[in-house]
A and B are shown apart, each in its own frame.
Chain A
């Protein structure tokens, strides 16, 4: 019978949103099949950190400060030992930047099949179906190894899982896994002025070349903050230097999975649309009625973003006031 280990990513003493979703989803799926789940989290935690985790099983917590900013090598040593000790057949990792680096390293160490970004996200499917070639091909992959590693994004987890059960947390001694001279250390993290990561946003307002300049993004900032979302950008806007690369959505940027994506002045190159395949509803604003972005949109407005967006901000405010 399958036994899963969920890697819980810790940020500033809290469990990352992606990890919370991942844990609860695994609990739900495992409960249906009568399977068991354990978790691991490293670094000091706030007292309320595990409050959103439901279900059964044990969460191993290593308190060491060094695990707040762990290297893949260190995490890999700890997790592979836990996998061996617990006899895990599945490891589930949230598809954050850190998770995506850890998963293949761990797969190599454990000789495990890595299944990343599977559409549907079931732990019990025989095949992993995932998009390749900029989302234009859906390919199926069959895991061949006895241990599987699942790398899962947020898009597969909108339904929240509630249970009266709570996992119990036990302290984990990570000291045997530290080595005196680590060859790679993560020294510091300079917070990106606490802006919400676009990969985790439910609403994204993104701008492209049609915005006309860096200053015009103020409009999108205003709209995003009004809606409780974040601002993204197309490759051309990033290449123009209007936005940092961390805001870029698409093939050479981030794949996003918001409920609502508002594309402003983005023509819609296939490389950009590739990053949107998991967005639920897409709105496009563009002055060119033949822009390819409209082919991938649910709603469209033809017009200059510099006129449409301020008017839209006004209309949203009006609607919210009536509420």
Chain B
């Protein structure tokens, strides 16, 4: 089974992101692999262990060249890692485009059997790249998957819908986005990190990009702080909320 996993990195602590004159300043940020991408990669590795002869390639689209993310993916168990850089990446559409092109370049006419992504990246939370990538590759899309059972011909999946648990059935090839709960990603030790350094790692420049569909037009910092009024007793609080009109839906 040929599996491509799309990964990206996000700030370890969002509070390290600063805004300077309407632009984002990420210079103080420590980066980690997007947690949802870890679920995607872990699931790919479990499939690889179940289906001998499988290969897992980790792909990243990034504004700046960096090896750490790829090394982490290789240490977890990916066979090969490729990063496509472009300093002008603006939106989810361009990111999906870069990934689709990379998949085309790596796999040629024969598309991978599965493309796994995280449900969303924790920094911008658009949750758009997986579905857009599916559209570009002409594959169906199973989003926010929390359980996956695969055999050689088909897949059965579960996800939390708005109304309860949904069960999905699909044939290969397919784009899947991984939700929390799909698995618990493995930890990597010194040995895996050493082995990762021997595996193929490529960093290439993106070719010309299509125009973005959405363009970043500035930012401002936000304070989540409110002025908290401390109340002494539960009955005082109940009175305040009642007068605030919050008990209209309460049982008669």
Interface string of B114-158 (1 = CB under 8 A from A): 000000001111111111101110001111101000000000000
Assess the A283–B14 pair: CB atoms within 8 A.
no
Check B239 for interface membership: any CB of A closer than 8 A: yes
Beyond A114-B214, A226-B250, A252-B35, whether A138 also contacts B219 by CB under 8 A is yes
Check A83 for interface membership: any CB of B closer than 8 A: no
- Which chain A residues border B219 with CB–CB below 8 Å? 132, 137-140
Q: Which of B161, B167, B222, B225 is the one whose CB lies under 8 Å from A97?
A: B161
In the assembled complex, the CB of A179 is this many whole angstroms from the nearest CB of chain B, namely 11
Stretch of A35-43, A44-52, A168-176, A188-196 that contacts chain B: A188-196
Q: Which of B167, B213, B237 is the one whose CB lies under 8 Å from A315?
A: B237
Q: Which of A101, A142, A192 has the most CB of B within 10 A?
A: A101
Assess the B216–A133 pair: CB atoms within 8 A.
no
Beyond A184-B140, A297-B228, whether A108 also contacts B93 by CB under 8 A is yes
- Which chain B residues border A113 with CB–CB below 8 Å? 213-214
* Minimal Cβ-Cβ distance residue in B for A320: B250
In the assembled complex, the CB of A250 is this many whole angstroms from the nearest CB of chain B, namely 11
In the assembled complex, the CB of A43 is this many whole angstroms from the nearest CB of chain B, namely 13
- Which chain A residues border B247 with CB–CB below 8 Å? 227, 316, 319-320
Assess the B234–A312 pair: CB atoms within 8 A.
yes
* Minimal Cβ-Cβ distance residue in B for A227: B250
Check B165 for interface membership: any CB of A closer than 8 A: yes
Q: Which of B15, B92, B160, B214 is the one whose CB lies under 8 Å from A246?
A: B160
Q: Which of B15, B36, B239, B244 is the one whose CB lies under 8 Å from A281?
A: B244
In the assembled complex, the CB of A201 is this many whole angstroms from the nearest CB of chain B, namely 9
Q: Which of B213, B227, B240, B241 is the one whose CB lies under 8 Å from A111?
A: B213
Stretch of A21-29, A157-165, A210-218, A300-308 that contacts chain B: A300-308
- Which chain A residues border B168 with CB–CB below 8 Å? 184-187
Check B195 for interface membership: any CB of A closer than 8 A: no
Check A183 for interface membership: any CB of B closer than 8 A: yes
B residues 7-42 near A (Cβ < 8 Å) are 11, 14-15, 17, 19, 24, 35-36
Check A96 for interface membership: any CB of B closer than 8 A: yes
Beyond A101-B144, A315-B238, A319-B238, whether A107 also contacts B128 by CB under 8 A is yes
Complex: A213 Cα to B35 Cα, angstroms:
26
Stretch of B49-57, B70-78, B104-112, B169-177 that contacts chain A: B169-177
Q: Which of B11, B126, B215 is the one whose CB lies under 8 Å from A142?
A: B215
B residues 160-215 near A (Cβ < 8 Å) are 160-171, 174, 179-181, 211-215
Assess the A316–B238 pair: CB atoms within 8 A.
yes
Q: List 19 A-B contacts (CB under 8 A).
A: A72-B141, A100-B127, A103-B131, A104-B126, A104-B131, A107-B132, A108-B132, A139-B219, A184-B142, A229-B249, A252-B35, A277-B222, A277-B224, A282-B226, A283-B237, A315-B233, A315-B238, A318-B238, A319-B239
6 residue pairs, one from A and one from B, having the closest CB atoms: A228-B249, A108-B135, A315-B238, A104-B128, A192-B164, A312-B234
Binding site for A on B (CB under 8 A): 11, 14-15, 17, 19, 24, 35-36, 91-93, 96, 122-132, 134-136, 140-144, 146, 160-171, 174, 179-181, 211-222, 224-235, 237-242, 244, 246-247, 249-252
